[in-house]
Amino acid sequence: MADEETTPDIDPRLQFILGYLSRSMKFKIEKWQKMLTTDEYKKVVYDFLDKVSTRMLFITLSAGGVLQATSTFPSHCKTKSVYFIKKKLFHSLFEDRVHSHLIYGDLCPKPIDQLAVLTEEVFVPMLS
């Protein structure tokens, strides 16, 4: 109970992103905190949350174990990534309904391979 009183209020939008990331990538919270202390990555995350001009957010866990945030599709990604895309352009994401305003999911390191598997295992059987 003492922890609840000393814990500062955390932005629910960040909690949502962290919750999805931690379920998807299984990393220690220190990596998230380190990413948000890096000015470049912090700016990308908050631009996504607060600015209408930033519609996408990609977060990658690098081979070195560092979380990296970008607003453009990761071109040379060798590890799993997570994406968040705003359904509509809002000035900022509403704190109480974050999940309903986003499309989010995982990207495998080789999207072409993922597309090939999807085609072979889902679309071809449906068309046969």
Are 69 and 57 within 8 A, CB to CB?
Answer: yes
Give the separation between CA 15 and CA 9, rounded to whole angstroms. 10
**pLDDT tens-place string over residues 39-81:** 999 999 999 988 888 899 999 988 888 899 999 888 777 788 8
Q: What is the pTM for the complete model shown?
A: 0.77
Domain boundaries along the sequence of the chain = 2-127
- The answer on pLDDT for 33 being more than 80 is yes
Are 47 and 82 within 8 A, CB to CB?
Answer: no
